[in-house]
Structure 1
Amino acid sequence: MAESVVTPAGASVGPGTTTGEQPVCLADFAAAARAVLPADVWDFVSGGSGAETTLAANRAALDRVAVLPRVLRGSGAPRLDAVLAGRPAALPVAVAPMAYQKLVHPDGELALAAAARGAGVPYVASTLGSCPIEEVAATGADVWFQLYWLRDRGLVVDLLARAEEAGCTALMVTVDVPVLGRRLRDLRNAFRLPAEVVAANLPGGRNDLAHQGTPGVSAVAAHTDAVFAPALTWSDLEWLRSETRLPLLVKGILDPRDAALATSVGADAVVVSNHGGRQLDGAPAAVTMLPEVLAAVDGRGEVLLDSGVRGGTDVLRALALGASGVLVGRPMLWALAAGGRSGAERALSLLAEELRDALVLAGCADPAEARELRALTGGHR
């Protein structure tokens, strides 16, 4: 595979669509991103694992959630603010953790974090970020640090200390990646990181397996398998809880039994997620498990939804089912690729506009009232 070269965002299409038009929804950024990204990078960002059945199921399941609106409520212009991880946010939304953001734009994590700061929403910085956590936190965003469990526990301790010293306000541990899912697009592309994109938070990030191209092999998967611990247990999560005073969110929960266990060992929140359809192919759509997870948590912590969220209507759907908020992933990478920081700012502005309209039409004065709505998960009658 030829080494990927990232096209400077905005060189041909800017933060609009492939025809230069201004985007009017988050989906519009996808075509613009595809137009400027190398094909293998597009596949890495947009693809799922296996036959991509879970990837497709996330969207299909969200589309089947119908929200029953209320009328004559005198709601007027709604408030959009919420509380996430115990802290105020301008929207019930956080930017999901996503690795190697310099793959899609030279400014990478710094641009997306700055956009999140401007929008007043949390930005979740990945262990596998291509900018160091200290630089991401220096943008002034409300930064949560996402932890992948590494084979070297000393390195885990070091990452925790760095995150806390940098001023991160929450810790999100991802628990659904004992190994990387088998992502066929990456195998076919023999995907590897270009030289200028590194795992900036890890030692040796510039000269590791992620940069070594081999036919039929994903170099990113090979690197992950070498550095991630494949046998994380609940006792490890208990240990992690004892090592930090930051709010602890556990991401990658689908089974309600695991949600109950997470809160029992001290998690402050769980994130219902199938990793955007990138891990176990054949796992259920995340939103289908949200009601059962909420019942299992039973008010002992926040519950957020990840995987498949594409706009303000999806945020309303999650709220109506009882979630505290959502994580938004791929659309933010598309916007970053298409227009850098300004593209990401536009995407978050659109998301706020869409949520505002959805709340008005549903008869809600704020996200808290949206959690009192009825949602029909079996589709539109």
Structure 2
Amino acid sequence: MKEIKDKAREMMKGFCRVCKVCDGRACAGEVPGMGGLGTGASFKANLEALEGYRLNMRLLHDAAEPDTSVSLLGYDLSMPVLAAPIGGVSFNMGGGVSEEDYAGAVVTGCAKAGVIGCTGDGVPPVIHESGFSAIAENGGRGIPFIKPWEGAELDEKLEKARATGCTVFGMDVDAAGLITLRQMGRPVAPKPAAELKKIIDKVHSWDAKFILKGVMTPDEAELAAEVGADAIVVSNHGGRVLDHTPGTAEVLPEVVEHAHGKIVILVDGGIRTGADVLKMLALGANGVLIGRPVSVAAVGGLTEGVAKYFETLRAQLSGAMVLTGCKDIASIDTNVLF
């Protein structure tokens, strides 16, 4: 991983410093780029919220070889982890690798590691085209995320995504405030419940599932369940759309309290290590999405870099489960937290 990070630092110079601690301090306000919007407070809040939780160490048990595997959204996974949908290599990551190579590295590297890669959307078209191609090349094993476009573009992209053979679709509604897209003359917008329901009903008619990413409050989690979404992602878009939001680990417990059992609850934001994954699962998430570390691994090592990152992450998660007395994912609960 050190070699992968060193290579990524060289390739992403001027766009991401690949800091020893990826906490959003050095890159605050660098959007485009890998930073958080404005003061970077939302990006930093994600890390600070996770750091605020401590783990109870327990060793008087028989959980010596924990099972990290799980079934989630119709997938059998080596651990409850997905690669978050990120695109725009040229203007966010320095263009050291092509969009096609980046998307292929994420989706294929995830498949090798037994997890799922999500693909991004945006401007120019090569972003979604590369993602769709990577999913198709992996036999439909991947989740295409489509932004909340205005007009016919949304339906057109849904149909193109369907052709990849995927069984799960996503919409990152938290992208509704992205400055970069509006500057490019391609506005995205929030989606009212009635419109969302029509989109979800269409996806369900294809015998597929739908994930809504960008839910930060209990009322919207319940609303997402009411309109038929199969899963939500508690996410502030990595702190890149609205300054001064709380960290996702701060809002997750209340979302879980209101929506548990009604919908699959995923979360992203500041997750870097296996211990971070364990914390989010202990707070009630069914799974997590990881963004920036996967991007660094993809730029620095392509497919093998992504696979190596997830191999490392799984070892960390397994080790943390041993040291907190968790024999499998189902046994992780709030007792893990101090």
Give TM-score scaled by structure 2 length: 0.86
Cα distance, 1:309 vs. partner? Answer: 0.5
2:77 to 70, 76, 89: 89
1:357 aligns with 2:319: yes
1:235 paired with 2:176, answer no
Partners of 1:101 and 1:109 within 8 A in 2: no
Q: Which residue identity is paired with 2:301? A: G
2: CA distance, partners of 1:121 / 1:50: 33
> Which residue of 107, 110, 118 corresponds with 2:104?
110
C-alpha displacement of 1:126: 1.4
CA contact 2:104–2:131 (8 Å) conserved in 1: no
Partner residue, 2:27: none
Q: Are 2:85 and 1:123 equivalent residues in the alignment?
A: no
- Among 40, 61, 85, which residue is 1:73 paired with? 61
The answer for unaligned runs of 5 or more in structure 2 is 18-29
What pairs up with 1:1-381 in 2 under 5 angstroms?
16-17=1-2, 20=3, 29=5, 32-40=7-15, 43=30, 44-101=32-89, 103-106=95-98, 107-128=101-122, 129=127, 131-140=130-139, 142-152=141-151, 154-181=152-179, 221-223=182-184, 226-245=185-204, 246-371=208-333, 373-376=335-338
Secondary structure of 2:233's counterpart equals strand
**Distance in 2 (alpha carbons) for counterparts of 1:285 and 1:32:** 30
Q: Using the alignment, how far apart are the partners of 1:327 and 1:93 within structure 2?
A: 6
Displacement of 1:364 = 0.9
C-alpha distance in 2 between matches for 1:253 and 1:175: 8
Question: Aligned to 1:137, what secondary structure does the other structure show?
Answer: helix
Residues 90-125 of structure 1: CA distance to partner in whole angstroms, max 9, x if unpaired?
111000000124635231101111100101111111
Identity of aligned residues (%): 30
Query: Unmatched 5+ residue regions in structure 1?
Result: 1-15, 24-28, 182-217, 377-381
- Aligned-pair distance for 1:136? 3.1
Q: Secondary structure at the match of 2:282?
A: helix
Q: Are the counterparts in 2 of residues 67 and 320 from structure 1 also a CA contact under 8 Å?
A: no
CA distance in 2, matches of 1:32, 1:60: 28
Cα distance in 2 for partners of 1:104, 1:369 equals 42
Cα distance in 2, alignment partners of residues 135 and 58 from structure 1? 29
What is the DSSP-based 3-state SS (H/G/I as helix, E as strand, rest coil) of the residue aligned with 1:251? strand
Greater Cα radius of gyration, structure 1 or 2: 1
Q: Following the alignment from structure 2 to structure 1, what is the Cα–Cα distance between the partners of residues 177 and 330? A: 37
Q: Which residue of 2 aligns with 1:185?
A: none
Cα deviation per residue 1:38-90 (whole Å; 9 max; x = unaligned)?
Answer: 41466544211010011111111111111224442211211111122232211
Give distance in 1, aligned partners of 2:47 and 2:96.
Answer: 23
Q: TM-score, normalised by structure 1?
A: 0.77
What is the total number of aligned residue pairs between the two structures?
311
The amino acid that maps onto 2:143 is: W
Alpha-carbon distance change, 132 to 75 in structure 1, aligned in 2, over 3 angstroms = closer
Tell me how far apart the structure 2 counterparts of residues 122 and 343 of structure 1 sit (CA, whole Å). 15
